[in-house]
Amino acid sequence: MLNNVILVGRLTQNPEIVEIEEGKKVTTVILAVNRNFKNADGVYDTDFIRCILWNSVASTTTEYCRVGDVIGVKGRLQTSKYEDENKKTHYITDVIAERVTFLSTNKKHEDVNEDSSTKEGE
């Protein structure tokens, strides 16, 4: 089975890190990704995709990226569900980031892996 996602888009807000149990760090960002075709009005629609970043990827992205920066995200889709008070089931699909590449920031770090916070190829 294969579950890979690659996105390039703009951050819609400044990333904010949250520390949860046992020292794990997480941040959730919304990535604005333009579609590659125009709608009936001749305008490119934009999808707003929620991405969850963990540990070193979350820390470095929070440190170096701001609203409007263009980043690349490589990860996987993860779906969860919950039942509301009316017993209706809702599904939520997130991208769990494994790698983030900074494409339009002025900071030194440009590529972050879940395993390390160094630039690729070093």
What's the rounded Cα separation, in Å, for the pair 119 and 21?
A: 28
Assign residue 95 the CATH number of its domain.
2.40.50.140
Question: pTM value?
Answer: 0.79
Determine, yes or no, domain membership for 30. yes
Helices (H) and strands (E) counted in the chain, each on its own, are: 1, 7
What is the count of structural domains for the chain?
A: 1
- 35-50 pLDDT, tens digit each: 999 999 999 999 999 9
- 75-122 pLDDT, tens digit each: 999 999 999 999 999 999 999 999 999 998 655 544 556 554 433 443
Determine, yes or no, domain membership for 34. yes
Determine, yes or no, domain membership for 122. no
Place of tokens 């941040």: 27
Expressed as residue numbers, the domain containing 10 is: 5-113
Q: How far is CA 62 from CA 21, 37, 96, in A?
A: 19, 31, 16
What's the rounded Cα separation, in Å, for the pair 103 and 80?
A: 30
Determine, yes or no, domain membership for 15. yes
What's the pLDDT at 26? 96
Determine, yes or no, domain membership for 13. yes
Determine, yes or no, domain membership for 25. yes
